[in-house]
Amino acid sequence: MLFEVAGIEVQPWVPPLVSLVISFFTSMGGVSGAFLLLPFQMSVLGYVNPSVSSTNQFYNIVAIPSGVWRFIREGRMVWPLTWVVIVGTLPGVLIGAIVRVQYLPDAKSFKLFMACVLLYIGARMTLDLLKQLRGQTGGAKAAEQRFQEQVARFRELAKAREASGEKLAAVRVLRFNSTRIAYEFYGETYDVPTWGILGLSFIVGIIGGTYGIGGGAIIAPFFVSFFGLPVYTVAGAALMGTFITSVAGVAFYQAIAPFYPTMSVAPDWTLGFLFGIGGMVGMYLGARCQKFVPARYIKWMLSGLLVFLAVKYVLDSLA
């Protein structure tokens, strides 16, 4: 099958199968599959046009909604955090699109940029795994256990309240203004600076918009490291932010395409849809099978692959 925008020819069953496999394993490791899908498109399929970034974002649009719906349905979406992430990330994504088309249009320079992003994610994952091996995550394990206990107590309290006709929300906003975001999540209170979240989201938006991943895989670790927010409180916001910014990114790439008539900028809709369908199924299956596969094994595999790809792209860009 010929994909005219991408300028490649591939069997139609290959994109959904590959994205299914990638998202199956990455979802079990707690990270997005979009950052691995782009190297596959460039290195294996030979899709090196700037439109590969927007096609990769379209994959997010198709694959993510089921995950977002799960958070909303379970009442675990921290909306103040989500809105600030979206407001901060959106302009960054648009700037990232311009950077991609204007300053990184050729495959050689873009591969060097890709290498930096992949190396960061891979190194971050490796450091976390090494800390686990050294027994330095006892506090994290204790925090996780404490959270599970809080959830159990919350559910018992919620059932008691429902019996009397009162509904108890999993997320309760305590403060939301230009300086602070404070909320209660399953009985635990968190308080973060609004401008700090906004500024970080803007920077991540530029990186994600340039690469074509939305930024969820990058922003969540920063929230955990710099603001002390447990990952279970930021997952929904990061996922929703990735979805909204991917929609804006794809629309923006499509809008600026006429200004670059000699360059493939707009997404390949058919290819992105095929990737997205496979990703949707892979994320569902990965979530179902996660309890049977130790996450650390998946993360070791992913981190090794990311570092390998980063080194490969550095060498390619220097060749």
Q: What is the mean pLDDT of each run of 10 residues along the chain (319 residues)?
A: 90 94 76 82 90 91 82 81 91 91 88 87 80 62 61 68 63 90 85 93 89 75 76 79 88 92 91 93 77 69 82 82
In the chain, how many domains are there?
1
CA distance 45 to 208: 22
CA distance 182 to 42: 42
Domain contains 5: no
What is the span of the domain harbouring residue 298?
A: 10-104+112-318
pLDDT of residue 162: 65
Domain contains 67: yes
Identify the H or E element spanning 125. Answer: helix 107-133
Domain contains 161: yes
Report which residue type is found at 299: K
List 192's β-bridge partners, or say none.
181
Give how far Cα 309 sits from Cα of 12, 35, 111, 128, 312, Å.
25, 11, 10, 19, 5
Q: Minimal CA–CA distance to 245: which of 91, 71, 33, 76?
A: 91
Quote the tokens at residue 214.
Answer: 């939305």
CA distance 198 to 185: 21
Report which residue type is found at 244: I
CA atoms within 13 A on the CB side of 235: 19
Domain contains 265: yes
Measure CA 277 to chain center.
Answer: 17
Domain contains 150: yes
pLDDT of residue 290: 59
CA distance 170 to 182: 14
Domain contains 1: no
Domain contains 3: no
Domain contains 125: yes
For tokens 């699109």, the residue is 97
